[in-house]
């Protein structure tokens, strides 16, 4: 009998097929492990005296463009919010556009509700506000107080039909009533400031002219009316001040905030027209798997009905093949990432995914190759796997044009989820679109019953972090400082000059505080933990 080692070799030796016509089938194995952002560090480069954070530009393309042309839409900062119920509603969209980014309003809701959210963002025009708390003259003081508590507005217009665009009859502010001296059933008509005492401006008045009127007349608000004296919008002193203090605002040609919207590959024939009508600037197919005919068919339908006028991103993919498939299908940008999100359990549930760093690097190379071959630059978005602020820097250095963030934005006041107390600490609720709570069948379903047969996301909490503006200011300063350390003042220059190194497990430990007793137990490395 052969020796044990000989028997093992014989058992493992490839066997010839018994019939020549039969082929051998074997899975493809990648030679290198897939890696995450935390396994890399940037090596600093030469930084000239001109490399200071205040001179760094974070402008980056959102949609594809041809060589020698400018993209139809660019972001002023490389950050967009995830297409999630717990993250992206109209409130988040306005707040993020104010800072120069873009929010994709979540699609796991009725078509009517999603379109209404998009419309509210577009109505919030750089200083011109469509009132969402309106009164009719026969309403009572009790109803005024209830509306104030519901919407938080102290100024409410009075129109003949109680709508946002009815004939203007007056305005109610906190100066018009005193709860301690008035009956709650008193009519609005009896205590409002009537139309004849109001200073108004005609429709078409520029923002600058409107604010000159506000200052000249010492007003807090100015109604804009049309030729028939119907209310068009309101201009507030505070909103003008805010506008002047946010130079990076992401605005369309009509000075309205820009907003995106998520769609699925099932009801796009009904959803897309409603979103386009509402004013959505860009769409994105929200799916855990972008390398599919479903996404191709969705893009083709949009192109057939709207040509290139409607911008649509697609994804998610994790390799060059997936990118090229969607680029050839006509996607305006491509999202990267499967299983890397903090609430995503796709890898655990299905064994599908790839390390976010490796996926970003490969897809970036494929994008550049596609650009050389076709002259068309298709931006890529790294979606998932970002735990610390510096991971954003790494994603951009690896070739991403912008990043999509869920957990990061879910922590802020502007996200739609509830703020709750958990073990003495304020938290924000945060759940994945693949969780039982979301039941977003349109994102995961491959046919049959319109329901999830198993979960690909969890229901969780994230530490409450306060306002979006304050936190993003810190994050963006870190990003700009990192770029300066690498000698770059723009994102393309950063990608060209960046030097990246793999780090060992020991190096990762060494990179944080060690061998000391921390005074503060709070996470020190980043406010995004």
Taking residue 188's Cβ as centre, other Cβ atoms within 10 Å add up to 23
Give the 3-state secondary structure of residue 408: helix
Question: What counts of helices (H) and strands (E) characterise the chain?
Answer: 18, 24
What order do you get walking across the sheet with 168-172 strand by strand? 156-159, 168-172, 193-194
344 part of the active site: yes
Q: Give the number of other Cβ atoms within 10 Å of residue 419's Cβ.
A: 12
* Burial environment of residue 12 by CB neighbours within 10 A (0 to 12, 13 to 18, 19 or more): exposed
Q: Which residues of 480-510 are buried (b: 16+ CB within 10 A; e: fewer)?
A: bebbbbbbbbebeebbeebeeeeeeeeeeee
CB-neighbour burial class of residue 131 (10 A; exposed 0-12, middle 13-18, buried 19+): buried
523 alpha-carbon distance from chain centroid: 25
Q: Per the structure block, which two tokens stand in for 307? A: 């040509």
Catalytic residue among 120, 443, 484, 486: 443
Name the active-site residue from 284, 344, 381, 484. 344
N residues, the chain: 529
Q: Which residues, including other chains, have CB under 8 Å from residue 103's CB and lie 6 or more apart?
A: 80, 81, 88, 92, 93, 96, 97, 259, 260
- Beta bridge partners, 140, equal 187
484 is catalytic: no
Q: Pairing between strand 260-263 and 65-66?
A: unpaired
Active site (catalytic) residues: 344, 443
């Amino acid at each position: 009998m052969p020796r044990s080692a000989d028997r093992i070799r014989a058992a493992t030796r490839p066997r010839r097929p018994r019939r020549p016509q039969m082929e051998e089938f074997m899975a493809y194995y990648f030679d290198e492990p897939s890696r995450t952002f935390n396994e890399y560090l940037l090596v600093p480069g030469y930084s000239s005296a001109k490399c200071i954070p205040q001179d760094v530009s974070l402008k980056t393309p959102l949609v594809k463009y041809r060589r020698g042309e400018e993209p139809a839409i660019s972001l002023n900062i490389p950050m967009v919010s995830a297409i999630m119920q717990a993250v992206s509603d109209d409130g988040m969209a306005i707040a993020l556009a104010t800072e120069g980014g873009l929010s994709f309003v979540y699609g796991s809701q009725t078509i009517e509700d999603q379109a209404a959210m998009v419309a509210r963002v577009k109505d919030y025009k750089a200083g011109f506000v469509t009132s969402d708390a309106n009164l009719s003259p026969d309403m009572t003081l009790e109803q005024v107080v209830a509306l104030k508590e519901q919407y938080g507005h102290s100024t409410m217009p009075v129109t003949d039909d109680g709508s946002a665009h009815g004939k203007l009859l007056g305005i109610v502010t906190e100066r018009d009533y005193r709860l301690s001296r008035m009956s709650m059933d008193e009519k609005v008509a009896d205590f409002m400031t009537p139309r004849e005492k109001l200073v108004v401006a005609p429709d078409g008045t520029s923002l600058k002219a409107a604010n000159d009127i506000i200052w000249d007349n010492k007003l807090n608000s100015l109604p804009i009316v049309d030729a028939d004296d119907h209310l068009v919008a309101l201009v507030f002193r505070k909103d003008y001040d805010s506008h002047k203090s946010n130079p990076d605002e992401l605005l369309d040609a009509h000075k309205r905030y820009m907003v995106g919207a998520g769609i699925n590959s099932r009801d796009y024939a009904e959803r897309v027209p409603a979103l386009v009508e509402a004013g959505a600037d860009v769409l994105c197919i929200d799916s855990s798997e972008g390398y599919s005919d479903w996404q191709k068919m969705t893009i083709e339908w949009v192109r057939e009905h709207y040509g290139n006028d409607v911008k649509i991103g697609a994804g998610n993919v994790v390799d060059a093949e997936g990118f090229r498939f969607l680029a050839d299908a006509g996607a305006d940008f491509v999202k990267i990432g499967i299983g890397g999100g903090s609430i995503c359990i796709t890898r655990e549930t299905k064994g599908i995914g790839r390390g976010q760093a490796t996926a970003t690097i490969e897809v970036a190379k494929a994008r550049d190759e596609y650009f050389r071959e076709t002259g068309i630059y298709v931006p890529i978005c790294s979606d998932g796997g970002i735990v610390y602020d510096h991971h954003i820097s790494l994603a951009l250095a690896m070739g991403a044009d912008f990043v999509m963030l869920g957990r990061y934005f879910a922590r802020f006041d502007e996200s739609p989820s509830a703020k709750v107390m958990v073990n003495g600490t304020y938290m924000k609720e945060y759940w994945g679109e693949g969780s039982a709570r979301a039941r977003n069948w349109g994102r995961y379903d491959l046919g049959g019953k319109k329901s999830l047969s198993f979960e690909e996301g969890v229901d969780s909490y994230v530490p409450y972090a306060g306002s979006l503006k304050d936190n993003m200011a810190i994050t963006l300063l870190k990003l700009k400082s990192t770029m300066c350390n690498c000698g770059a003042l723009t994102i393309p220059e950063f990608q060209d000059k960046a030097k990246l190194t793999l780090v060992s497990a020991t190096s990762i430990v060494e990179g944080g505080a060690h061998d000391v007793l921390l005074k503060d137990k709070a996470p020190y490395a980043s406010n995004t933990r």
